[in-house]
Each structure stands twice: as C-alpha cells, then as structure tokens.
Amino acid sequence: MGTLTYNFLVDPPFSRSFKGLIIWCLLLYMIQCSSATSNKTGNNFYKWEVEYMYWSPDGIENVVMGINGQFPGPTIRARAGDIVHVQLTNKLQTEGVVIHWHGIRQKGTPWADGTASISQCVINPGETFDYRFTVDRAGTYFYHGHYGMQRSAGLYGAMIVDVAEGEKEPFHYDGEFDLLLSDWWHKSVHHQEVGLSSRPMRWINEPQALLINGRGQYGCSLAAHYGNSSFSQCNITGHEQWAPYILHVDPNRTYRIRIASTTALASLNMAIGNHKMVVVEADGNYLQPFETDDLDIYSGESYSVLLKTSQDSSQNYWISFGVRGREPQTPQALTILNYKTNSASKLPLSPPPVTPRWDDYAHSKAFSNKIKALDHKSIPKPSPTYHRRIVLLNTQSKMNGYTKWSINNVSLSLPATPYLGSIRFGLRDAFDQTKPPEDFPEHYDVMKPPVNHNTTTGNGVYMLGYYSTVDVILQNANVLKENVSEIHPWHLHGHDFWVLGYGEGKFTRSDEKKFNLKNPPYRNTAVIFPYGWTALRFVADNPGVWAFHCHIEPHLHMGMGVVFAEGVQHVAKIPKEALSCGLTAKKFMTGSHLG
C-alpha cells in the first residue's frame, strides 16, 4: 500500500496573539481590521488590493493575479438578503481591472456587475472602486476578473450565499466543502492575448494543469504508483502552495460539496471513487435530486451535490476531474476523500475514476437532461409564451486574415464608453446604433464550414422591451475546419433563464414541441453541444445593460458575445466612478451620482 509523504491532518497552532487580535477586532468592529484569511472588515465589508505576485499553483513558480496576497482570492460568505461591500484597489501598475460577481443578478445595482465597457469603466492603476450589491438568493457562486483575460491570470474566488435567517434548505447535510475549479497555463495571459490577436492566430493550446482551489500538480502525479501514468510520484511535504486540498470526512455522514467552475477553457467531469453523488443545486437554484456516478461541469456553472460517506472507512478514495469536450492533453486533477478513521496520507486501493471519453456527448447530454427544477417557492414557473425570439448562430470566421468568433456573423468589439452610461444619457455616438441581426440566413448549413468566411465587427445592442419575455435559441455550427464543432457554455448577466431544451442540427419551429415548460432548470449558464441548439427563455425585468457570452475566455476575447439592454431609463444614482471614462466622463462628471 502506498502512502503520500506528508500528514494532511496537522493544523497550524492557534496562537495566543492571534486570539488577542480577534478579540481586539470584535471590540473595535467599527475600525478597519484585516485578517490574513478573509480580509473582512466589519459585516460583509471587504477591503481588497489586486496585484500580481509569484505563486506556485502547480509546482512551477509563475506570476498570478491575487487579492491581498492570496490565490485564489478570499472567499466571500454572506446570507441571502445581505449587502456585500467590496472596496477594490487596483495595484496592477500597468493595466485596469474589474470584477464580475458571477450569478449575482445585481437588481438595482447594474453598475456593480463588473463588466468593463458594459456596466462600468475599468478601475485604473492606483484607483479604488466600491462594489455594493445585495445577494438576494442563496446558492453557490464565484467572482472573477472580466477585463481582457484576467480570469486566466488567476483573478477569481468563491462566493457562497447561505439561506436567510429562519430559512432552511430543502435538503439536510452534516458538513460542507467548497471546490473552485480552474485551469492553468505557464504562458502568461499577455502572451495568450497577443497570440489570439495575431495574423495568423496562435491558439493558446491546452492548459498545463487543472486546479482544485488553486492547487494542482504539473510534471508529477499523486497516483503515479498505479503504473498507468507517465509521470513520477509527486514528492510533497504538505506545506507547498500546490499540495492538494483534501476533503476530511467522518463515516456515515452526509456532506454538501459545492463545485464551481471558473475555467478559461476546460469542460470537466467529476467523479468520486466508490461513491455516488446526489445533485441538488445548479447555479443557485434547487433541483429535483438525482443520483449520478459522475458530473459534467462547464465553465461558468456551479453545482451542489450530497455525498454519503457510507463506504469502507478504513480506506481513502480518489476525487478526480478530467477534461471533456476537447481531446485532453492535460492530466486529471486529483485529490483525496479522507475518512478520518485512517491517515490522510494513505493512498486509495484503486486507481482514480476514469473520465468518460472526451467526445462521448451522449453521456453529457444524458446528464444535462436529468437536470430539472425543484418545485420550490424560490424558482418561478416559466412563462408559457414569448414576446420576442432571437436566434444566435455561433460561428468561427475571418476578418482581414484575423480569426474571430462571431454571432450571426458579427464579432463583438466593445466601445470606449460603458453602455450603461451611453444608453442612460442618450449618447448615441458612443456605439453603433445599427440593430444587430436577430437570426441567420435560412439556407445556412450548420453542418459545414461557412461558405463565406468573412465577418464584421460591431457593438450594437439588443434593446429588449422592459418586462418582455425573450426566447434565445443558441445555434451551434461547424467551425472553419471541416467536421469540427465545439462546446460553448453561455452565461447571461443580470438574469436567470429557463433552459427549455436541447436538440440536434438546425433549430426549426417544429422543435418547440420538445420544450420542457413544466420543470425546466432555472440557470445563468447553459451549454450548446456540437452541431446542436439550446433554447432559453427569460424575462427582461432587471433594468440595466447585460453581457451574454460564451464563458470560454479566449472565445469571448475573439468576439463571441452579445449585449442586451432593458429598462435603462429606470436606472438611477449611478456612482460617478462607474462612468468616469469615454463620453460620460466628458459630459457628466459633476456630483457624486449620475441620474
């Protein structure tokens, strides 16, 4: 039996001086007091500094983007109904920054959505911006950079919203673990960005490692001793920044495992050796519980699963994450489910679970079709009809020799003035007033490369009727290369939508009979499978301007997104710092708020 070379059960001593610091902070809670763990100063107030720093996410030292010296950034934990206040200072020296609170709908605070050129100006080096918003619903969320490719640089962290005081979850558990998934490259994001914008395009290629809570292993394996690995066994003391995050459990208990994916590229599959999982939450919304051996999770998605620790408690078990939807060149991410009745350094008897083949889309679709909304007061029933339907064709294309991703043959290029300000104050010269196309030509063959490879750039906005019901059909197609169509997870800011259904080939009106109007999942991120379509429905009831885009970061960087606006005339008291750039800076910089 193999063992790991360190003891996971050793915890650092809780020093007397640290106890004194905590007491002092409690007595003087009105005074700013920052701890190294959360940097939380008062109830739901956080003071953060974003900066580059050296770190070893996978055993190779590199430069990461961290918050207050931490990677990943500090976890935010609040209750539904709380106001979260993050005072963010940019210490990056040479580039701007914003942070998007993924899954938080920002009702009444659209300027806090954290989308550069859409909801706010970037926070310039040395500047501070205050994000204040209400977390209106319990669930599993996360935050990440939304400027350039800063998510790939490591700017992300977990955000957990517990139920409000007096409320209960519709399921029971004895303990909880929070897993934030990401992928990691040794090539800097600046190199990646230049490559994507070059002629010919230089693709970022596959990540060097997959990270669990910012920890992964490169060039070695935790499971090398089983003999099916080309890597050597990892030599870890347990104190490294890249040492695995271990899940310590008691036997015969039920644990909630929250999983959120902030990957820049990878779609992943999770499995736990000898254990089944019960899926109960997706993107902050409850599900009809269902049991599964493994779970597919795409970039931008989050889940909660319940795990019963009912197996042999004298053994430990692998938790594995493997690549799906792309031919994998990155090893599985591994960690251990440690039954505390034995040592955490004891390796499992069996090899890690085998990830389903990367292109086994039948497996992926079967999982997606099991996801149904729970009949719960927090989840609205779908609107039976729609007022407007927008069909969005996802294609790869060329513009003057540059490779782009386009929607209805328009590649998104964001303007200098944030839409929230330009639309609210009628600055029509700030962006293209041409209405973006709402469909694609009927004769277009989604099973073949585009006949016309050429695209255009644009920054027009889909203006939605306030409180109208909107259907969006995401239509996938062949890319420039023959016989290739890729997975795309799409994320909508400011809303949740009902996922009405999935289908093969080109969507037609006859496909409407396949829609699930009884219990469709209510989510903020949905996947379209290769050569298929996904049907979404949402109510445009949140005044603001909202991004809707592929959550694969290089795809968004290459133009794969659109912008929705609704009820912007109802937005008031916009902080001036949110619009202190472009045309709004020149025209409206008086007073503390705009409008």
Closest CA relative to residue 266, chosen from 219, 214, 207: 207
Least confident of 35-39, 94-98, 285-289, 335-339: 35-39
Q: Is the confidence at residue 591, as pLDDT, over 60? A: no
318: left (phi over 0), alpha (psi -120 to 50) or beta: beta
Nearest-angstrom CA–CA distance, 440 and 431: 23
Averaged over 225-251, what is the pLDDT? Answer: 90
163 DSSP assignment: P
pLDDT at 35: 33
pLDDT at 229: 67
Q: What is the pLDDT of residues 431-459, one digit of tens each?
A: 999 999 999 999 999 999 999 889 999 99
**pLDDT range class, residue 500, cuts 50, 70, 90:** very high
Q: What is the pLDDT of residues 353-383, one digit of tens each?
A: 999 999 999 999 999 999 999 999 999 999 9
Averaged over 379-397, what is the pLDDT? Answer: 96
Sheet containing strand 267-272, strands side by side = 247-249, 333-339, 317-324, 267-272, 294-297
Q: Is the confidence at residue 472, as pLDDT, over 70? A: yes
Q: What is the pLDDT of residues 557-567, one digit of tens each?
A: 999 999 999 99
Q: Which amino acid is at 573?
A: K
Closest CA relative to residue 55, chosen from 38, 39, 73: 73
Q: Is the confidence at residue 48, as pLDDT, over 60? A: yes
Least confident of 2-6, 144-148, 277-281: 2-6
What is the pLDDT of the chain when averaged over all its residues?
A: 92
pLDDT at 336: 97
Closest CA relative to residue 389, chosen from 423, 432, 431, 440: 440
Nearest-angstrom CA–CA distance, 299 and 157: 14
Backbone angles phi, psi at 387, to 5 degrees: -95, -30
Nearest-angstrom CA–CA distance, 114 and 124: 14
Q: Is the confidence at residue 489, as pLDDT, over 80? A: yes
Burial of 127 (0-12, 13-18, 19+ CB in 10 A): middle
Averaged over 75-98, what is the pLDDT? Answer: 97
Least confident of 149-158, 301-310, 417-426, 450-459: 450-459
Nearest-angstrom CA–CA distance, 146 and 161: 21
How many C-beta neighbours within 10 Å does residue 172 have?
A: 9
Nearest-angstrom CA–CA distance, 395 and 485: 9
Q: What is the pLDDT of residues 571-589, one digit of tens each?
A: 999 999 999 999 999 877 5
Q: Is the confidence at residue 89, as pLDDT, over 80? A: yes
Contacts made by residues 574-578, CB under 8 angstroms, sequence distance 24+: 574/111, 574/420, 574/421, 574/424, 575/111, 575/130, 577/121, 577/127, 577/129, 577/130, 578/111, 578/119, 578/120, 578/121, 578/129, 578/418, 578/420, 578/421
**pLDDT range class, residue 94, cuts 50, 70, 90:** very high
Averaged over 65-82, what is the pLDDT? Answer: 97
pLDDT at 237: 87
Averaged over 427-434, what is the pLDDT? Answer: 95
Q: What is the pLDDT of residues 164-223, one digit of tens each?
A: 999 999 999 999 999 999 999 999 999 999 999 999 999 999 999 999 999 999 999 999
43 DSSP assignment: T
Nearest-angstrom CA–CA distance, 88 and 133: 14
Q: Is the confidence at residue 24, as pLDDT, over 90? A: no
| Residues 407/440, Cβ–Cβ less than 8 Å | no
Averaged over 302-327, what is the pLDDT? Answer: 97
pLDDT at 230: 79
Closest CA relative to residue 506, chosen from 393, 364, 363: 393
